[in-house]
Structure formats: C-alpha cells, structure tokens
Copies of this chain bind each other. A is one copy, B any other.
Amino acid sequence: MIRSKLISIGDEILIGQIVNTNAAYIGEKMFSIGIPVHKTVVISDEETSLLQEFEDSYQNYDVTIITGGLGPTHDDITKPALAKFFDDKLVIDNEVLEHVKNFFSSRKIEMPLINEGQALVPENSEVIWNSNGTAPGIWIEKNNKIFVAMPGVPYEMKPMVESFVLPRLIKKFSNDNSKIYLQKTILTTGIGESSLYEMFGDIENILDGNKLAFLPSATGVRLRMNVIGEDENDALVKLRAFENRIREKASDYVYGENDDTLQSVVGSLLRQSGKTLSLAESCTGGRISSSIVSVAGSSDYYRGGICAYANEEKIRLLKVSKETLKQHGAVSREVAVQMAEGARNLLCTDYALSTTGIAGPSGATPDKPIGLVWIGFSSSEKSYAMEFHFGNKREVNIERSSQRALEILRRELLKIKIKF
C-alpha cells in the first residue's frame, strides 16, 4: 500500500491560532485517490524539526506533502530545509520571477525586494505553478520518494493539489496502486453509540474484513465504512454488501448518508409529499427554524415559526391557555401540545413541532431539572408531546432538542414507530 504523510508547518497551528483545515482537505483528497494519509504532523518552523520529519518521511512513507513555510519572510524555511535535506542548492527560476514581478505590477504595487526570494527553488525540483499567489509549490522525486511542498494559504494550495498534485500522483502510482479505496458514511440518530454497537451483535460478521468507525456527536452516531477492493467493481460490491449489513442492523435509526442532515432529509420528505411545516420554539429559541432554513429551497415547505420565549407570547400568539400554563407550568406536556397546535393553526400548515424545556443553567425546580425538554408534534390527525432529559449543558440541550424534534417529524413522515 502506498503510504503518505502530511507535514503542516507553523506555530499558528500549534498554538491554536488557526485550525488545521488544510489537513482535512488534503486528507480527504489523498484518501479519494487511494493514497490515504497515515500520519499528520504539525511542527514549528525550526530547521531541526523539519529535517527530522523529512528523515522519517523518507524512511517510512512514499509520499510526503508539506504545507506552509514558503512565504518571503525570515520564518519561511521550508525551501532551504528541503535543499539541505536533499543536498541541493536553491536557484532562481526565471519564469517564477517573472510571475512574481507581474503579480505586483498588475496590482500597481512596487515589489518589495524580499519577494525575489520567492523565485528561489531547489535545483533538482519541479515548480508547481501558483495561479493565486506568489510562492511556487515544489515537487521533488528521489529514489521513488516524493516530497511536495505547497503554501499554507488554502486558496493557493487547493488549486495546486487539484490541478497538479493529484493527477501526477495518480499517474505515478497507477501501476503500483491498483487497489480501489471507497468510503461511505451512514447516519443514525436517536440511539447511543453503545446501544447501537450492541444491536450489531457479532461485529466481525458485519465487518467481514472491512473497517467501520463509530463517530458519536450531539446529533447522532455516524457509521463510517472503509472498503478496499482489488478493482472498482470488487470495491463497489464489497461496499454494497457491507452497507446492507449495517442498514439491516441499524434499521430505522438510519436517517441518511454522507452529507445528509436531518433537516435536509426531512425537507425532502416534506417536499415529496407536498406538505408544509411550522414551528413553535421556546427552549430551542429558533435553532430548529434556523437549521431548516439552512437547507436551500426550504421555502417550498417551511412556512415559518414562532419563537415564543416569554409566556405572554405563548398565550397571545400560540393560544396556549392561561389555565394550562398556571396549572402545569410552561415546561409541560400540555403546553408543548398546545404550542404545536397553536403554530399549526396560526401558520396553517400540515405539521407543526414545538419545544419547551429548561435549557439551563438557571430555571430548574425540584421536579423540573435542567435538561428536561418536552417536544410537541401536531398534525391534522393527532397531537402529542414527548419528554426528554438531555443533561445540564445549555448548548447541548438546545442541539439535542432540535435534533430529536426533527427525528420525530421524520418518523411521522415515514409512518415509522417513534422510539427513543
């Protein structure tokens, strides 16, 4: 198997000033061409560290991708370090020099002298053209080991990866690398990681030699399948069988795959059935509305929502009865039901969802703890509310309430049993 390693250079990543999104981007691209990144390293711009990592790369990996440290200032040492490591020298590349000069003159800026250094490249290397900036990328090949250095600026690096690095790597390794790598993610919600794992029973049977990762988050557990095939057909057949085994076990907890979201899935179901939705949110405060509207085209099925944060608005807009509020309190089954019914009537929709709960950190009483949330549902056929306990983190409460509300709607739309 072709092994690749990624080296990100820069203090700003180490001290958390920027998040290493480049690594995610490159990781995904390399995986897609069957040369997955086996290790990512982030180091400071110190020559010793760079040389050490280059040595490890040279010994243990076929492809090393380096980002950062290619700018014109004193702390940009990737090129000199590469030259030192490969016992090479830096020489001016005239085409790059021309490009750098043009870059400044076309912007009617005088070029600072320091920028001439951008045209320096290791003599035994190939330039990767930078259409969106001045620092060129570098491609070095020695004894079948490949080192690629690119700027850390995402919009300069990405076009280099797509137009040069990936095609070149595919060509280079097309003989060595006949295997096909496929990946797919199945999305579940409404069930915890360990319960899901238990439902799977004998995991080896399901895996059948493939890889499966359980990725829990506040919105549910994602199941990522990785499959390696001898050729494309083999990989597809394996993936399909693997997916079927998983879908069978995870059954109706599965709501989608890959980039789906619960709101996009629910949106498609509403559109298909020509039905409309409205919302009455209290503790979620507009979060459900906001996630529904994040889906392009949601105006086809979403009419709008009321964020009734104050009791008066529950009464005035949603027609929740004063008596009910007094008798049961705002966080109650009865109020959740009336809120959902109120929204459905007010906004004239087929379905409505409501939330009322104690998001925290204050507002709890002895019998209504932080994390208690009632989620209401209303359609022309029925109205009801369900009770949940989501723990004591405000942010998590809001997130999970929203997710559960959408999951209730999904199950209603598909006419499958509600079970939590």
Contact = CB atoms under 8 A, between A and B. Distances in A.
Contacts of A197: 72-73, 112, 114
A308 interface: yes
A302 B112 CA distance: 38
Most buried by B among A13, A26, A310: A310
A195 B113 CA distance: 9
B305 A11 contact: no
Contact of A36 (B15, B24, B109): B15
Contacts of A293: 283-287, 307, 309, 359, 398
Contact of A297 (B20, B284, B305, B362): B362
B39 A49 contact: yes
A213 B307 contact: no
A108 B391 CA distance: 12
Contacts of A224: 11-12, 17
Interface in A1-52: 10-21, 23-29, 31, 36-44, 49
Contact of A153 (B112, B217, B346, B360): B217
A237 interface: no
Given A15-B183, A17-B185, A309-B304, A286 B290 contact: yes
Copies of this chain, complex-wide, total 2
A361 B215 CA distance: 31
Contacts of A313: 303-304, 347
Contacts of A95: none
A132 interface: yes
Interface residues of A, number: 109
Contacts of A240: none
Contact of A362 (B18, B217, B296): B296
Contact of A389 (B108, B113, B289, B317): B108
B36 A14 contact: yes
Contacts of A21: 19
Contacts of A89: none
Nearest to A159: B393
Contacts of A317: 304, 317, 346
Contact of A294 (B31, B192, B298, B395): B395
Given A17-B224, A39-B43, A226-B11, A292 B298 contact: no
B12 A28 contact: no
Nearest to A44: B38
B309 A298 contact: yes
Contacts of A203: 73-74
Contacts of A297: 362
A198 interface: yes
Most buried by B among A18, A42, A214, A362: A42
Interface string A372-413: 000000000000000001010111101000000000000000
A327 to B, nearest CB: 21
A86 interface: no
A306 interface: yes
A145 interface: no
Nearest to A285: B293
A148 B279 CA distance: 45
Given A24-B18, A394-B296, A389 B107 contact: yes
A214 B194 CA distance: 43
A278 to B, nearest CB: 9
A216 interface: yes
B19 A195 contact: no
B43 A14 contact: no
Most buried by B among A14, A111, A224, A391: A14
Q: Which 6 A-B pairs have the closest CB atoms?
A: A285-B293, A286-B289, A16-B28, A286-B286, A16-B27, A286-B290
7 contacts: A11-B213, A14-B40, A17-B24, A23-B42, A132-B396, A289-B290, A304-B317
